[in-house]
Amino acid sequence: MNTSGNLLAEALLSLDLGGGTRERSTLAGAMARLARGERFEFAALQAHQLQPWESLLVQVGALATHAHGAIPEGEAAWRDALLALTGGALEPWCLVVDDLTKPAFMQPPVAGEDFTKKGERERCPDAIDLLVTSKNHDVKQARAAHPTPELWAFALVSLQTMEGFGGAFNYGIARMNGGYGSRPSVGLTSALPLAARFRRDLARWNDERTRLAERFGYRAEGGVALTWCAPWDGVKALSLGELDPCFIEVCRRLRLVREGEEVVLARSTSKSRRIDADTLKGVTGDIWTPVKRGDEPTAFTAPPTGVGYKVLRDVLLSDDYDPPAALEAREGDKGEMFAVVRVLARGQGKTAGLHERVVPVPGKKRGLFAKGDERARAGTLSKRRVEQVGEVQRKVLHPALCALLQAAPDKLDLTDDRTQRWRRAHDERIDPRFFEDLWRDLDVDLTEADRRWLNTCIQLAREVFESALDAVPLPSERAYKARVMAQRVFEGSARKNFALAFAPDATAAPVSVTPVRPEETP
């Protein structure tokens, strides 16, 4: 049988070891390095491919470790453990397998009509990847004109494990809420390099096996784990009862084939999703996916606006979401941790940005990510603070900006939506402060916590307001009056509605107030 691109036998992956050093490695060799805690990067991996590739490595590692009974040691042991997942067959780890009745890496066996002899052909890996580049903006189309095997491997993993609905008969993965959803990665880690997360998340998958089998009906032992090894005719879907709890799915029918000296990708459509999980709305037990509670629980979907502090607060601390297993504090976690959120936001016929947020969690606050009173207090206080930001914007910043934009009218029109850009600017200033200030104030009296936060919100609102004073064009005959009136509205509204923020405190910096002289009164 003719095969090529063997990920277990050929050093196809380029590793950046730091300090200008690069090496080539097999898949088994890279996993052995991760298991030893070595820090390196996959040099050819693009930013949006990082999450799907790392998820694959962790899940394959969890499956191999469970079957092996322990974490393999060394490249040879990892190669044997990975081969054991495929019953000793090499084909599922090869990028090109000429016998179409056999699986290839992330490519299920062709069942029924041979679609590789007709239909679409792709010669560049980025042409099948997640990013929507139809307008050739930003990231350009078909850049990898001379692709290496690892570029095909990364693109296949990205497409098969992260893609959503792509038009008629092109269905998405089971681990997202609907065809225009997204598959997030949310979890705790002791450090940001992959090696720090690898063993922790690998253990989380295996810790969850029994619970997931009981809840979702997965097959605790002997289920389909690598779904690209099972034949697929595009009609019959796999049920949850046939799957391993840690299954790695493929969502599209495609094969890499030889065309002369060139390797190209042939693909076809399907009449159903690969996994029969439509009713689950993305709730499959994925250890990285928060689940929104309700009568019909749904997997978290990133909004097109990204992952700001409000979304982060909901995902990390809100009672509205069940936290994923990877976000829960574990016995053995030590020192400072990091809550990491990664997600590629998607929409209908578009991608809406690649978002990554890292929230440092002081060692003394690790208990926030365990069930108990400490988490409940953090959830309550963080919700209160989000609401207070909105109140400062609504009661102070918005009316002051209305006075400025409307050039000191006799009566303010508070329906003026031109203030939105500055309210967003205020959110942008709040964002980097939100969690740092939250951790600091969790242990103080609620009144003092409120005073500190309101003081911060008003000071940041004042910075935004002052930038507007310089930016808003005004009629020359009313400019002075408009600015003075706007200042009066800002300071008066702040003191009237949030007197607590101006209460004296020996440990706090004094609040800066711009005085208005009587003769300046409009």
Closest to 12 in 3D by CA, of 149, 154, 207:
149
By mean pLDDT, which of 10-14, 167-171, 347-351, 476-480 is the weakest? Answer: 347-351
Query: Per-residue pLDDT tens for 13-43?
Result: 999 999 999 999 999 999 999 999 999 999 9
Dihedrals φ, ψ of 250, to 5°? -125, 140
pLDDT of residue 204: 95
Longest dimension (CA), the chain: 93
pLDDT of residue 352: 76
Report whether 453 contacts 391 (CB < 8 A): no
pLDDT of residue 131: 63
Instruction: Tell me: pLDDT of 496 over 50.
Output: yes
More confident residue, 164 or 464: 464
pLDDT of residue 139: 52
Residues 6 or more apart whose CB falls under 8 angstroms from that of 166 comprise 172
Instruction: Tell me: pLDDT of 81 over 60.
Output: yes
Report whether 258 contacts 117 (CB < 8 A): no
Residue 138, phi-psi category: left (phi > 0), alpha (psi -120 to 50), beta (remainder): left
Sheet holding 262-268, edge to edge: 121-122, 262-268, 253-259
pLDDT of residue 522: 35
Query: Per-residue pLDDT tens for 377-415?
Result: 999 999 999 999 999 999 999 999 999 999 999 999 999
Rounded CA separation 159/176 (Å): 13
CA-CA distances (angstroms) from residue 396 to 403, 457, 495? Answer: 11, 10, 9
pTM: 0.90
Q: Which amino acid is at 284?
A: T
- Residue 300: CA count within 13 A, CB half-sphere: 30
* Dihedral, 23, 27, 29, 34 alpha carbons, nearest 10: 100
